[in-house]
Amino acid sequence: MIVALRVDERLIHGQVAMTWTKALKLDGLVVANDEAANNEIQKMSLKMAVPQGIKCIIKTVESAIQLLNDPRAQKMRLMVLVTTVKDAVTICERFQDIELVNIGNAGKMTDGEKITFSKEVMLTQEEIDHLETLVKLYPNTEFQPTPAMEKKLAVNILKNIRR
């Protein structure tokens, strides 16, 4: 089952590997990212960051969706990691029972004019539009860098920047 979907352009790193996996009692991480899935060096690097005992699968977004629809995935506690809000929307449109939708780190590596939501999240207007769609699908979408930090609902944050 998908315990969490996290937008984090760094994908697997210390916050995910050490804090989120423990806080959510995860069995595995599924990286849904076309670029990472097609880059053997990046796949190897990401897998090296995963704690012992946690499974890690790196797939394209569409292949990850197929994998997550496999009945065997329902028996595991999984976090899906994507780099963009757009990819999060693609996954959330296909799954209605994700427990937690989280925006962790986004926008620092993309080009274009951005609006800063927090020191961790800066989004272009296109990504803000995707975030609005995501909030319609999952109204409890939250901004939270680590489990120990304060949760902020995306719907409330969007109210402050709406056109």
Chain-wide mean pLDDT for the chain? 93
Residue 109 pLDDT > 80: no
Instruction: Kindly state the average pLDDT of the residues 132-150.
Output: 95
Catalytic residue among 1, 9, 10, 13: 13
Residue 136 has pLDDT above 60, yes or no: yes
13 counts as catalytic:
yes
Q: Residue 84: pLDDT above 90?
A: yes
The answer to whether residue 125 scores a pLDDT higher than 70 is yes
- What tokens appear for 8 in the block? 């984090």
Which pLDDT score is estimated for 162? 56
- What average pLDDT does this structure show over 154-158? 92
